[in-house]
Amino acid sequence: MIIFISGMIRSGSTLHLNMVQDILTTANISFDASYVETFEDIKAVYEKKQDSTRVQILKFHFFDSRMSALLSDPDIHAFYVYRNSLDMAASLIRKTSSSFEEHLPGIKSAIETKYHFLAESNLNVSRYEDIFISGQLELAKIARVLKLEISPQKIVELADDLTLAAQKDRLQKMDYVKVEVPGDSLWTSNQDEEGTKFLLLNPERNLHHDHITSDGTPGRWIDTLEPEQASRVLMLESEAASKNISSLQAAHRKELSQAAGSRAKSEEQLKQLSTEVDAMRAKLESAYSENTEVRADLENARSENEAVCEENINLINAREALTKQLQTEELKIHALERDKVELNATLTELDQNYTQLETDFHEVTKKAQELELNVTSAARRILALKESTEIKSNVISKLLSSVEQKESLISKLHTENSRLKEENASSRAETEALRELFEKSAQRNAQRYDHLDGAGSKGLIHKFRRLLHSFTIRRHIRRIRNSEYFNGEWYLQKYPDLKASSVDPAAHYFKYGGREGRAASLDFCSQSYLLKYPDVRVSNLNPLLHYINRGKEEGRTAFPVREAAGDDPEEK
């Protein structure tokens, strides 16, 4: 399908294009729209129509007689829009800064082109004034011509979106592409800093900023054209109409001549045709005479133009008032329809809510009955609980009395335990004193035996010293094991290599672990102690044993593993 969109300049052809685009978009039909300037461009698209699955929309303002053959194709739908020539001329002048004289050739061409189009039979013609009054009717007409079914509600929505105010608002929001035009063009007065003329065009809607420069109301030419200028436009209108009549006369004569040549064998038919030709000539001469009278009337109309203009203004104002009233009534109708839809929706929702309320009421009634049964059952249980509570209170009183007696006994046991601990500590102190006395006695005896000679005496001394050394080591290991700073279980968990060998953790720490820097527990880091106190490290003493025997009394610090993790090689 190919769609032609044409019309007089400044007469709403672009608005008509937007209407066609909106109708196709609503019907989910894909299309391509383009602006053509020659008949060859139209012919090129027409020849490729079988290869395209998309609708092709061609917009143009020129006329070519070769179009007549294309318009007879059922796959082509042609639309033409025109308006009052005076309004067209006034809109063209308002659009640019050019004078009336500069625009006069373009005005003449537009009027002549209009009559060429109006002479075509396969053409859908619309007047801008009718579109201005009711865009809905025009949209419905386009849908009917294109054989597309569009709902009335959608027609109303599309028409609201194509009002003059909506078009101006759309122009403000669109993104535009700068398009240069020839310097002698009268289509725009926009110029950049270099003096180049340009248009700001929106490719999506084929609109530019110069499309809407006034309120678009028909009859506003009176604000722009002088009476003399209006008369000249009317004269051009008359001349174009006359030329169109002459053209139609010549075409008819040609058809008569061809008919006469093909019917040369029948003299009666020739005479009849001659009579018809003479009659037609008489009619044409009469029409020409009437056209001359029309010209004279136009001359006379110049003097009456001001009164006619004033009357036109009054009529236009009245029509505007009626149009606004009609639009207001239509808006009221739309509002009432929307209110009706909303009310129907509200009623439906209320019906659903009422049904739900009935269901909820039945459920609540059922639950109330269940609650009554539960309350009766609960009252019975409460009575039973009260009786059980009285019995349990008596039992609890007896238990409390028993607990008080046991607490008194426990207090006595704690007191006895404290006394035994004190006695145990005293016994440990006495035992330690006896051990030290024994060691001193053993050392004195060893010194005495050093003066004895003979192998027997030496062997006895050696055994005594070895026994003394073994006793001392066991005492040191015992002190480490009983120290609060050593944890045997933690030591074996910390160093898995010892856990597998089943060694005594205290003995291993005394003999090897302390010097290797292994931690005795989380509360004592051996390596940190040796690093802090070099004298202990040089003397090759066990760090924990040194701290227990002397370091703590000297005020030295026991470093916990968690504070010295950076110094513990096992933690690194």
Instruction: Report the chain's mean pLDDT, rounded to a whole number.
Output: 80
In this prediction, what percent of the chain has a pLDDT beyond 70?
76
The predicted pLDDT at position 572 comes to 36
Q: Which residues contact 16 (CB under 8 A, 6 or more apart)?
A: 5, 7, 79, 81, 126, 131, 138
Contacts of 102 (CB under 8 A, 6+ apart): 186
pLDDT (average), residues 560-564: 69
pLDDT at 40: 94
Whose CA is closest to 106, among 146, 62, 150, 60? 62
Q: Which residue has the higher pLDDT, 427 or 504?
A: 504
Average pLDDT over residues 378-388: 84
CA distances from residue 366 to 330, 375, 377, 380, 476 in whole angstroms, order as listed: 54, 14, 17, 22, 84
Dihedral of the alpha carbons of 90, 91, 94, 98, in degrees to the nearest 10 = -80
Give the pLDDT confidence of 333-347 residue by residue, as tens digits: 888 888 888 888 888
pLDDT of residue 394: 83
pLDDT at 564 over 50: no
pLDDT at site 150? 92
How far apart CA 451 and CA 27 sit, in angstroms, is 131
Range of weakest confidence among 47-51, 424-428, 563-567? 563-567
Q: Encoding tokens for residue 420?
A: 């035994």
Q: What is the pLDDT of residues 237-263, one digit of tens each?
A: 988 888 877 766 665 566 566 555 655
5/209: higher pLDDT: 5
| Residue 355 pLDDT grade (very low, low, confident, very high; cuts 50, 70, 90) | confident
pLDDT above 70: residue 377? yes
Kindly provide the b/e burial profile for residues 513-545, where b requires at least 16 CB atoms within 10 angstroms of the residue's own CB: bbbebbbbbebbbbbbbbebbeebbeeebbbbb
Return the higher-pLDDT residue of 176 and 331: 331
Which residue has better confidence, 304 or 55?
55
Question: Which helix or strand (DSSP H or E) is residue 151 part of?
Answer: none
Q: Identify the pLDDT of residue 530.
A: 93
Task: Specify whether the CB–CB gap between 135 and 162 falls below 8 A.
Answer: yes
Helix (H) or strand (E) holding 495: none
Domain boundaries, the chain: 2-225, 483-549
DSSP letter assigned to residue 57 = E
| pLDDT band at 185; cut points 50, 70, 90 | low
Residue 570 pLDDT grade (very low, low, confident, very high; cuts 50, 70, 90): very low
Query: What integer is the mean pLDDT of 118-134?
Result: 87
Q: Would you say 205 and 162 are in contact if contact means Cβ atoms under 8 Å apart?
A: no
147 pLDDT above the threshold of 70: yes
The structure tokens 């007689």 sit at 65
Contact partners, residue 518, CB within 8 Å, separation at least 6? 491, 494, 495, 509, 526, 570
Pairing mode, if any, of strands 177-180 and 198-202?
antiparallel
**Identity of residue 166:** A
The pLDDT assigned to 412 comes to 67
Burial class (CB in 10 A: 0-12, 13-18, 19+), 79: buried
Q: How many other β-carbons are positioned within 10 Å of the β-carbon of residue 157?
A: 16
**Which 3 state secondary structure label does DSSP give 35?**
strand
Q: Could you say which DSSP state residue 501 is in?
A: T
Q: What is the pLDDT of residue 566?
A: 45
**CATH placement of domain 2-225:** 3.40.50.300
Task: Name the H helices within 60-151.
Answer: 67-71, 85-95, 100-118, 128-133, 135-145
